[in-house]
Structure 1
Amino acid sequence: MSAVDPLQPLLQLGDVAALAAEAVSAIAAVHRRPVSLRRADVTGSESVLRGARTSALIEDPSARDLAEPVGVLGASISVSSMLAPDSLQASARVFSRAPLQVLSRMSVLAGGGGRPEGAPERLQQLALLISQGAHDVLLPQVVHAELLAHEPFGERSGLIARAAARLSAVTSGLDPRGLAVPEPYLLRHRDDYLAAAAAWRQGSAVEFLELSLRSWAAGAEEAEAIARAL
């Protein structure tokens, strides 16, 4: 994290500081579980798969009827391949120093052309924030919000935003093994989630930050369920 953290002021908004602390504590507890230490590849794989399927449902609720990984479900699973345990650390290393390269790759995996379609200045600012380092808990939320709200990769931006948020959580240290599954919470609160993204686009950050941090705390509970099933 940089000496002067540009995201620090966001902790003063609403319940952001308390929710950030709750998310950190919940995710850290999951990482301390013996099964998470011994079999992170198994728990991580299940986390990525659940996240990918749920991300597709957030994008298009009719995807629940898909039996095969095609359409939005196929795109989501392809993007999430960069988060699989055998790829995660390599993806994280590149993302931390060349985030635009990873985002472009996600765009291609989602069926896009790999080039941004809009908001170039915001995307460059976001890339700088990622590469310079910023608040360990807030960076994934800001990455998520910026990509979702300003849609630099067009209609694929939602899938990319959720995958990039997960990758940011790995690089920032919030979720270093990628075990949490925040997507089910976002699906359950889909209308509020989309409204919070719209509020972010209009300049209000608190709605998205609070909802997104709640999703990470709930995502730790989802990871606990995965661990208990093993």
Structure 2
Amino acid sequence: MTDRPDPLAPLRLLPGVAESVAHAGKALAAVHRKPVNLRRPEITGAESVLRGARSGALMDGADPALRGAGAGSRVLRRHLDVYSLLAPDTVQDTARVFLRAPLQVLARMDVLAGGTGRPERAVGELAVLASTVTSGADPDLLPGVVHGQLLATAPFGERTGVVARAASRLAAVAGGFDPRGLAVPEPWLNRHRTEYRDAGAAFRTGPEGVARFLVLHMRSYVAGAEEAEGIAALL
């Protein structure tokens, strides 16, 4: 445990944030209690990863006709490669590394997305984010902060979107917000992609922008829990 104050604690006081965190947490707890997810969470988790990668690829320009059709484009292949770090057989190990050495994991994600593993910009902001990850910050807020900060600063250029979404999921597993990685927030983000991109850009503009993004992030997790409920119902 650390004696340092939680750097994210003030964010719970922003308008709408605490309520949206509670709503998302309730939805996630419910889907984790589904009998199939208590017995075989890896089945829902594997489908969650696949659906998440496909929806993320659509946001980043993959042909909509490829939905469910496998790795038929470079964009989709790279999303599947990045999301392979979230697969049920590897995600817990990756999550432990992320909490200890987040920059190492982000570099690996960037390489899988087709980059060099080195940030193109915002090196200082990335270092601050890494320090937040390793500080033991609020595990419910950390995934949204990782997501929003990466989107807002775009350290990995055009590859930042997939890295941000995958890193956010990983933070959710690592901190226990979504401990088995069951939720699928990406389909909701894809359906609301304009709102999502605008909120990501607003993250750097001050407390109001941060609150806007965090509330949107939590809405995506409520919808992502519903998507996971649908997966469980098919099993």
Question: Under TM normalisation by the shorter chain, which class is it?
Answer: over 0.9
Question: Corresponding residue for 2:153?
Answer: 150
CA contact (8 A) 2:115 2:159 kept: yes
Show the counterpart of 2:15.
14
Task: Tell me if the contact between 1:43 and 1:226 (Cα under 8 Å) persists in the aligned partners.
Answer: yes
The gaps in structure 1 that reach 5 residues or longer are none
Q: In structure 2, how many angstroms separate the alpha carbons of the residues matched to 1:180 and 1:92?
A: 16
User: Following the alignment from structure 1 to structure 2, what is the Cα–Cα distance between the partners of residues 35 and 126?
Assistant: 36
TM-score, normalised by the number of residues in structure 1: 0.96
**SS state at 1:205 partner:** helix
Instruction: State the Cα distance separating 1:196 from its structure 2 match.
Output: 0.4
Q: Do residues 216 (structure 1) and 221 (structure 2) align? A: yes
One-letter identity of the residue aligned with 1:20: V
Write the distance in 2 (CA, Å) between the matches of 1:131 and 1:7.
Answer: 12
Match of 1:173 among 151, 176, 199: 176
- Residue 64 of structure 2 corresponds to 64
Separation of aligned partners in 2, 1:148 and 1:5: 22
**1:201 Cα offset (Å):** 2.9
SS at match of 1:86: coil
Q: Secondary structure at the match of 2:114?
A: coil
Q: Hey, what's the Cα distance between the residues in 2 that align with 1:9 and 1:72?
A: 37
Maintained 8 Å contact 1:2/1:134: no
Q: Report the AA paired with residue 134 of structure 1.
A: A
Name the structure 2 match of 1:164.
167
Tell me the SS of whatever aligns to 2:89: helix
CA deviations over 1:132-174 (Å, ceiling 9, x no partner):
1111111000000011111001110000000000000011110
User: Using the alignment, how far apart are the partners of 1:2 and 1:196 within structure 2?
Assistant: 32
Structure 1 residue 198: deviation in Å? Answer: 1.2
Write the deviation string for residues 169-199 of structure 1: whole angstroms up to 9, x where unpaired.
Answer: 0111100110001111111111100010111
Sequence identity, in percent? 58
Letter in 2 for 1:10: L
Q: Over residues 82-126 of structure 1, what are the superposed CA-to-partner deviations in whole Å (9 max), with x where a residue is unaligned? A: 000011111011101000000000001001011111101110010
Q: Is the 8 A contact 1:105 1:114 kept in 2?
A: yes
- State how far apart, in whole Å, the 2-side matches of 1:212 and 1:144 are: 8
Look up the equivalent residue of 1:115 and give its one-letter code: R
- Give, in angstroms, the shift of residue 68 of structure 1: 4.8
- 1:95/1:101 contact within 8 Å kept: yes
Where does residue 127 of structure 2 map in the other structure?
Answer: 124
Task: Give every structure 1 segment of 4 or more consecutive aligned residues whose post-TM-superposition deviation is greater than 2 Å.
Answer: 65-68, 201-204
Question: How far off its partner does 1:63 sit?
Answer: 2.6
- Counterpart amino acid of 1:218? A
Number of the residue aligned with 2:50 = 49
Given candidates 158, 183, 186, the residue that maps to 2:186 is 183
Distance 1:136 1:182 in 2: 17
Distance 1:68 1:26, change over 3 A: closer
**Aligned counterpart, 1:78:** 81
Alignment of 1:134 with 2:152, yes or no, is no
Following TM superposition, by how much is the alpha carbon of 1:33 offset from its aligned partner in structure 2, in angstroms?
1.1
Q: Is the 8 A contact 1:56 1:73 kept in 2?
A: yes
* Distance change in 2, residues 1:182/1:35 (3 Å): same
| CA RMSD between the two structures | 1.2
